[in-house]
């Protein structure tokens, strides 16, 4: 009995092994037949949207960035300028003698220097500017604020400014080649206001350094306080004065005003941060 059971178990074991081999072989053959018949596993799924190539808009932005000057944003600027200025103190005056009485040169030309600084917000600048003009008989000082519009075109940048502030005459040198008038006027505060319009063009050599030119025109309103009578007498006592000049000196006792203009052209060096 034991021998028969053993023989049956062995037979079952062999039969099971044959069945498993047959099943494995059948699956392999089926897979080969599917491939041979044009049936294949589906292709891999496309990459997620996040891995897709850059959109057309992104490409345009990249191209624009490559074509730009690469200057980036600017927050602060500092400028130094130098050039030439022509000044007319009585351009808009009807009464020519009430302001100068012939003792103050009212038309002059000479060198000018200046400096500006301020903040920049994309296209808009807000800052301050000071200038000193050096003339034969006096110097002209001005300081004030300005607002500008800048138009970046690659490395070139046209700009326009409007400004205004305080202006004054000082450092008098005698217009009559004698010391009397200059001495009497040296402590006189001739001052007032200016309103200026300006246009220029800058070239950015590097993202932080520029060179450029500017041209401006301004209107000046000046007031000359009346001189103390003793000062007027001092002027009239100068033996180099003619009788007409001595008579005109009387005008200096009263306050005088003038409305003039100035035209300026400068070369500009700028630092930008």
End-to-end CA distance of the chain: 105
Rounded to whole angstroms, the Cα distance separating 194 from 217 reads 10
Rounded to whole angstroms, the Cα distance separating 169 from 261 reads 14
Rounded to whole angstroms, the Cα distance separating 179 from 172 reads 10
Rounded to whole angstroms, the Cα distance separating 127 from 218 reads 17
Determine the average pLDDT of the residues in 78-95.
Answer: 90
Architecture of domain 74-272: Beta Barrel (2.40)
Q: Are 258 and 81 in contact (CB under 8 A)?
A: no
Residue 235: the pLDDT is 83
Determine the average pLDDT of the residues in 39-48.
Answer: 55
DSSP code, position 153? B
Instruction: Grade residue 63 by pLDDT with cuts at 50, 70 and 90.
Output: low
pLDDT higher than threshold 50 for residue 67: no
Closest CA to 84 of 114, 55, 125, 106: 114
pLDDT in tens, 204-243: 999 999 999 999 999 999 998 998 898 888 888 888 888 8
List of E strands, 122-155 = 124-134, 139-150
Instruction: Grade residue 60 by pLDDT with cuts at 50, 70 and 90.
Output: low
pLDDT higher than threshold 60 for residue 11: no
Q: Is the dihedral of CA 235, 240, 246, 251 positive or negative?
A: negative
Rounded to whole angstroms, the Cα distance separating 212 from 132 reads 19
Residue 102: the pLDDT is 79
Determine the average pLDDT of the residues in 231-258.
Answer: 86
Burial per residue of 130-141, b for 16 or more beta-carbon CB atoms within 10 angstroms, e otherwise: ebbbebebbbbb
Residue 52: the pLDDT is 46
Largest CA distance in the chain: 166
Determine the average pLDDT of the residues in 86-96.
Answer: 82
The more confidently predicted of residues 68 and 255 is: 255
pLDDT higher than threshold 90 for residue 165: yes
Continuous H helices in the chain: 2-36, 56-67, 97-100, 179-185, 229-236, 243-248
pLDDT in tens, 99-114: 888 788 889 999 999 9
Q: Are 112 and 131 in contact (CB under 8 A)?
A: yes
Is the full-model pTM beyond 0.85? no
User: How are the residues of the chain apportioned to helix, strand and coil, as percentages rounded to the nearest 5?
Assistant: 30, 45, 30
Residue 41: the pLDDT is 56
Rounded to whole angstroms, the Cα distance separating 199 from 210 reads 16
So where are the chain's domains?
Answer: 74-272
Residue 8: the pLDDT is 53
């Amino acid at each position: 009995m034991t021998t028969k059971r053993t023989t049956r178990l062995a037979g079952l074991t062999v039969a099971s092994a044959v069945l498993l081999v047959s099943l494995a072989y059948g699956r392999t053959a089926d897979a080969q037949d599917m491939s041979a018949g044009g049936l294949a596993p589906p292709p891999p799924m496309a990459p997620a949207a996040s891995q897709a190539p850059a959109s057309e808009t992104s490409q345009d932005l990249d191209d624009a960035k490559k074509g730009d000057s690469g200057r980036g944003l600017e927050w602060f600027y500092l400028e130094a300028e130098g050039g030439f200025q022509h000044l007319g103190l009585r351009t808009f005056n009807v009464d020519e003698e009430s302001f100068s009485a012939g003792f103050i040169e009212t038309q002059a030309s000479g060198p000018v220097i200046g400096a500006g600084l301020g903040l920049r917000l994309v296209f808009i600048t807000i800052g301050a500017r000071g200038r000193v003009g050096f003339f034969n008989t006096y110097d002209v000082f001005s300081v004030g604020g300005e607002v500008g519009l800048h138009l970046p075109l690659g490395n070139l940048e046209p700009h326009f400014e409007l400004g205004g502030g305080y202006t004054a005459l000082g450092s008098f040198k005698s217009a009559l080649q004698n010391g009397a008038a200059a001495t009497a006027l040296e402590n006189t505060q001739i001052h007032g206001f200016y309103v200026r319009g300006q246009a220029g063009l800058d070239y950015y050599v590097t993202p932080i350094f520029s060179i450029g030119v500017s041209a401006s025109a301004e209107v000046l309103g000046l007031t000359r306080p009346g001189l103390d009578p003793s000062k007027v007498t001092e002027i009239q006592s100068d033996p180099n004065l003619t009788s007409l000049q001595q008579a005109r000196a009387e005008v200096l006792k009263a306050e005088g005003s003038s409305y003039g203009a100035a035209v300026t052209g400068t070369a500009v060096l700028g630092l930008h941060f």
